[in-house]
Chains A and B, each alone.
Chain A
Amino acid sequence: MSLFGGVTSQARSRNLVEFKAGKMLLRGTMVHPDKRKGLVYLYQGNDMLMHFCWKERSSSTPEDDLVIFPDEIEFKKVTQNTTGRVYILKWRSNARKLFFWMQEPKDDKDEEWCKKINDLLNHPPTPGFGDDSSGTGGLGSGAHPLQSLMDRMAGSSGAGGIDPNDLSNVLRGMNPNDLASLLSSVGSGSGAPGLMQDAFGQQTPDSRPNTAPAATRSTGTATATATGGTTSASSSSRPSGSSSSKPRNAGTSSSPSTAPPKSGTSLETTTGGPKGGPIKMSALADILSNLSDKNTTQETGNATAAKPTIDLYDIMTAENLIPILSNKDIQETLRTHLPEGSTISGSENELRESIQSPQFRQAVSAFSVALQTGQLGPVLAQFGLPEEAITAANQGDIQAFAQAMEKHYKKTNEESDEKKSSDNTMDTS
């Protein structure tokens, strides 16, 4: 389903790897080769998903086209069969298996292909910012880094544009910095970025005034609201519900306000923007607001991808719990937050059991992921946690969070301890 009436793009990259291989069929407990001459190949779709395919060489369409996610499979040589060159595509989470036999005359590249399949399926190439795995060709120097993406979106690669569903998939796969850059290019209008505007410039009479270079006012508006959009998408802590309407308003409200003539000084080619099917601002806004609602996990997850995600439950070891649970004050406080009706004896054991329960464990895991994907800022702010901790939470930085917490609470504790000891001039023994 395409907004601009063109052919929905199914265009995709060249095959990332391909080699001649036949299928094998499982009959009972034995595997028999399918004699047909075939081809195993991988490609990455516009939606960034990896496809593992097999087709008969005489055919143009694949007989099998499987979408494979990272860490889902393993492709390896079958060692029981020593005579043939049989390989297995094995799923990790269930018993599914597919077998293939190499049909390339020489086996010197078997291992290389095997490795490539594993690498590509488990570490798919990231969207085209300068990489040409997407087959859109290399970027000229000085081209906007998002040029290839824009090209694809506009279909200048010859495929007729991008389906909004694909678009949301693509945007979802982008890392937040690039996404922010893309969004800011929506509003800036001056210079090379402004690609999106160019796109709109082509489309309807409404949007044209929007993009006329002289209309810096509308540009300004667009920038402001688009930036609003930026923040909501890339810094996931803020709720994005309201921002979705803004870009749309910018689109409509600024059109009457701009005097300049539809002289069509719209900027087509000066900035080398896309020529093909443009994308409606409103559709993009919708998609982006959906993204910020649902997918901030992944975006910010990418941003903090440097550090692996830890599970806070792992720090709640028996050893660590001792000083916590033996403190009467802490015990009391914690107890008040236990589910009602679950405290029977109200003893330390009770607390320990709750902490060791699978339900609590899941809650802590969920909390950990939420914290490290920057979603907990606003929620934690309501608990009156120190500002530095909230900032760290917004950034998904758990180590900074821990440091900020200790900085505030440990100090307070030590101070009050000092105060207590200085108050007690007498030894009460």
Chain B
Amino acid sequence: MASGEWCLIESDPGVFTDLINGFEANGVQVEEIFSLDDDSLQQMKPCHGLIFLFKWQETDASNENMVKDSRLDEIFFAKQVITNACATQAIVSVLLNCTHEDLKLGSTLSEFKEFAQAFDPQMRGLALSNSEKIRYVHNSFARQQLFEFDSRDEKKDEDAFHFIAYIPFKGRLYELDGLKEAPIDHGAIPTDTEWTDIARPIVRQRMEKYSEGEIHFSLMAVVSELRRKYERQLEQILADSALTDDERNDKTSHLSILIHEEERKRESYRIENLRRRHNWLPFIVEMLKAYATQGLLVPAVDKAVVAKEAEKKRETDKKRKRI
């Protein structure tokens, strides 16, 4: 029933941030979290959602603490309908459940929210997969398909991730897993506690489980736009007459570095996007011509073939020994 194709996109904070902006939502960005233990989450607050991605299409079977009451009408939860769309689905889920003032949802997402709010999770999933606008933006981040076939038929499938989102909603922590029937309630968030502190052990448990199975995973956080935050802080410091000049200089230079870092990040996302959408065929052809002209092509190709053959032999030998 879902019409239109959704392409595979990279699971990359730059892509996700640009995706959000593509939906005309503003005020937030996506950052990758490498460790739950250090201060990174603290530094990046306010955090509006955590997205846990792992390379596994299935999900565990437990149905504990599944929300079954009227909260289902309030929390925006959609069942996963299309695998390739699940990154967008996770992000949209976080955004549509966020009521923080920093986030400006924009018309596309607001309209979608209104439209789909009254549906059940299955219908919401379908509505999302049928949303032309959202799909269009999603697909604009697809990898360049230079050729008819998909070169990733080598079953490497790096991007077949499954996404699970964790959000704070009205004082409680919820887990949104599109492969399940409903959100999972992980309990109340005590006042004066960061919701991420409550989420931390739960996420950590997942990380440990997947480490055992050697499953690759990543953690992303949807946070308020950092640059804007730093700029506000900068203004405050400049206006703060209680500081000494030295203190002020210290803090402002530190913030300037952070702001500069954000600018650099955005610039690199921009360039990555350009590269992602670019047709590299002419460039590649010119490079091959250049190699040929210099007499480098044949030796390099021959060497690569020999190396590959040797590698294959090693693989088959290894397999035989294992058995």
Contact = CB atoms under 8 A, between A and B. Distances in A.
Interface in B275-323: 275-278, 280-298, 300-305, 307-309, 311-312, 319, 322-323
Given A320-B300, A342-B274, A363 B294 contact: no
B97 to A, nearest CB: 29
A362 B278 CA distance: 12
Contacts of B282: 337, 383
Give chain A's interface secondary structure class: helix
B155 A364 contact: no
B13 to A, nearest CB: 14
Nearest to B267: A344
Nearest to B275: A359
B56 interface: yes
Contacts of B114: none
A115 B323 contact: yes
A323 B296 CA distance: 9
A134 B174 CA distance: 52
B281 A402 contact: no
Nearest to A384: B285
A405 B149 CA distance: 25
A94 B57 contact: yes
Nearest to A373: B149
A352 interface: no
A364 B294 contact: no
B289 A405 contact: yes
Contact of A95 (B146, B212, B276): B212
A410 interface: yes
Interface string B56-70: 111000000000000
Interface in A378-416: 379-380, 383, 385, 398-399, 401-403, 405-406, 408-410, 412-413
Given A308-B309, A406-B295, A375 B275 contact: no
Given A310-B304, A324-B291, A403-B298, A363 B280 contact: yes
Contacts of B301: 310, 312, 315, 398-399, 401-402
A357 B308 contact: no
Give chain B's interface secondary structure class: helix
Contacts of A294: 148-149
A93 interface: yes
A69 B157 CA distance: 14
Nearest to A333: B286
A71 interface: yes
A308 B146 contact: no
A410 B300 contact: no
A405 B212 CA distance: 49
A118 B277 contact: no
A307 B292 contact: no
A354 B272 CA distance: 9
Interface string A319-347: 01001100100100110011111100000
A114 interface: yes
Contact of A408 (B271, B284, B292): B292
A307 B305 contact: yes
Contact of B272 (A324, A359, A369): A359
A316 B287 contact: yes
B288 A405 contact: yes
Interface in B120-164: 143-144, 146-149, 151, 153, 155, 157
Contact of B274 (A296, A310, A339): A339
Contacts of B281: 363, 367, 379
A71 B155 contact: yes
B213 interface: yes
Contacts of A69: 155
A105 B212 CA distance: 34
B210 interface: yes
A362 to B, nearest CB: 6
A316 B294 CA distance: 13
A342 B270 CA distance: 9
Contacts of A339: 274-275, 277-278
A119 B323 CA distance: 10
Contact of A406 (B153, B298, B323): B298
A293 interface: yes
B247 interface: no
B108 to A, nearest CB: 25
Interface string B157-190: 1000000000000000000000000000000000
- Which 10 A/B pairs are nearest by Cβ-Cβ distance? A95-B213, A405-B292, A359-B275, A315-B300, A363-B280, A339-B278, A337-B283, A409-B292, A366-B151, A402-B301
27 contacts: A93-B155, A95-B213, A115-B323, A307-B309, A310-B308, A314-B304, A314-B307, A315-B300, A320-B300, A323-B294, A324-B291, A324-B294, A337-B283, A338-B283, A366-B147, A367-B281, A367-B284, A369-B149, A370-B149, A376-B147, A399-B305, A402-B301, A402-B302, A405-B292, A405-B297, A406-B292, A410-B293
Interface of A: 69, 71-72, 74, 76, 93-96, 114-115, 118-119, 122, 293-294, 296-297, 307-312, 314-316, 320, 323-324, 327, 330, 333-334, 337-342, 354-355, 357, 359-360, 362-367, 369-370, 373, 375-376, 379-380, 383, 385, 398-399, 401-403, 405-406, 408-410, 412-413
Given A72-B155, A95-B56, A95-B210, 18 more contacts: A93-B157, A294-B148, A296-B149, A310-B301, A310-B308, A314-B307, A327-B294, A337-B282, A339-B278, A357-B275, A359-B143, A364-B280, A366-B147, A367-B280, A369-B149, A383-B282, A398-B301, A402-B300
